[in-house]
């Protein structure tokens, strides 16, 4: 039975390219290594978030809302993509940022939030964690006082509706692999809020893509946390949309050990990964998500876990603008 997708507003340039990283293969002495360039989805390089936002924005417009509220850090790729998507579709973006960005001039994603015209409010990370429901409710109320009707989407648009973005992406990747003559492969992606990973797993189940072995690399929290949160998201999406799929916890594969000092805290191996890929392939990772996950690919190729019996595909989820928040680190001056 054909899968019935919800309505979406087309914002991304799809399909994104699937490219082979042959110079990196020679550098690492292993492979084949491929990359799904979801950093090139368009909408000012909005990365993986725009795939999910296509469905969220469609529901916002259909429901008569004129404002989309979300949350994240000042360098959040998701907040920046939400601000861009709202600007493109004529919606008001309201961003709840934690922690406050500090007194320095805005840069990276935070600068783009300003250029896209987003309204921003800040609070401490601790307050957001303790009182998220109240803070969101207050934001919706403030918008109502301004005559606006607001909908909230969580970090990363990682809600059941947002999962459809990567459910569709899994089918897109499968078509590209078939065209490239790849019969089976390992697929790696970063995981934090969970919507991208959940969507890929659901796509594998719904489209019967048993030849894909999907692995997620936590860049925040740890494997038990993500196993619980991604599993909950998969089950909620299946129930809400009556998806023709049966989810089991065994569908989830994580590669732990790459969080470092915490979410959005760069470390040396991740910075080295950024420089290595830039030098060999002219492709830029970011120190928050993709560089940490790419460390797992590098280690896996070097130790023979990946690229030995089948190709490995890395899903580049974007984030280039956050590089500009750490210029000294990336330039090797700190």
d(CA 131, CA 142): 17
Q: Which of 76, 193, 220, 322 is catalytic?
A: 76
* DSSP designation for 315: E
Per the DSSP assignment, residues forming a β-bridge with 92 are 67
d(CA 173, CA 165): 12
Strand order in the sheet with 18-20: 18-20, 33-36, 312-315, 185-191, 212-218
From 163, 179, 232, select the one nearest 19 (Cα to Cα): 179
**Angle of CA points 204, 84, 63, to nearest 5°:** 70
> Which alpha helices (DSSP H) does 63-210 contain, by range?
77-89, 108-115, 125-145, 164-179, 195-206
* Residue 255: C-alpha distances to residues 92, 115, 249, 277 (Å): 38, 37, 15, 20
Q: How is 239-292 classified by DSSP, letter by letter? A: HHHT-S----GGG--B--S--TTSTT---HHHHHHHHHHHHHH-----TTTHHH
Q: Confirm whether 158 is a catalytic residue.
A: no
Indicate the helix (H) or strand (E) that contains 328: helix 327-330
Q: Hey, which residues are catalytic here?
A: 76
């Amino acid at each position: 039975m054909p899968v019935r997708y919800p309505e979406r507003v087309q914002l991304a340039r799809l399909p994104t390219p699937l490219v082979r990283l042959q110079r990196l293969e020679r550098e690492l002495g292993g492979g084949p290594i491929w990359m799904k360039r979801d950093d090139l989805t368009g909408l000012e390089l909005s990365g993986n978030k725009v795939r999910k936002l296509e469905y969220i924005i469609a529901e916002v417009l259909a429901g008569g809302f004129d404002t989309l509220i979300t949350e994240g850090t000042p360098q959040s790729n998701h907040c920046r993509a939400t601000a861009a998507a709202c600007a493109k579709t004529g919606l008001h973006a309201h961003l709840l940022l934690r922690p406050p960005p500090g007194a320095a001039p805005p840069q990276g994603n935070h600068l783009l939030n300003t250029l896209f015209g987003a309204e921003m409010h800040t609070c401490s990370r601790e307050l957001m964690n303790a009182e998220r429901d109240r803070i969101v409710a207050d934001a919706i109320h403030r918008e109502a006082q301004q005559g606006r009707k607001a909908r909230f989407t969580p970090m990363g648009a990682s809600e059941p509706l947002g999962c459809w973005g990567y459910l569709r992406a899994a089918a897109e990747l499968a078509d590209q692999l078939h065209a490239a003559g790849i019969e089976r492969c390992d697929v790696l992606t970063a995981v934090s809020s969970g919507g991208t990973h959940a969507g890929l797993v659901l796509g594998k189940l719904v489209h019967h893509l048993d030849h894909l072995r999907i692995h997620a690399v936590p860049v925040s929290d740890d494997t038990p946390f993500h196993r619980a949160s991604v599993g909950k998201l998969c089950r909620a999406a299946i129930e809400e949309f009556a998806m023709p799929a049966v989810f089991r916890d065994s569908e989830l594969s994580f590669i732990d050990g790459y969080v470092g000092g915490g979410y959005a805290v760069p470390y040396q191996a991740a910075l080295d990964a950024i420089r290595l890929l830039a030098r060999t392939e002219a492709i830029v990772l970011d120190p928050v998500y993709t560089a940490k996950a790419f460390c797992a690919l590098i280690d896996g190729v070097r130790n023979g876990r990946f690229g030995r019996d089948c190709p490995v595909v890395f899903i580049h989820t974007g984030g280039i603008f956050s590089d500009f928040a750490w210029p000294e680190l990336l330039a090797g001056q700190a």
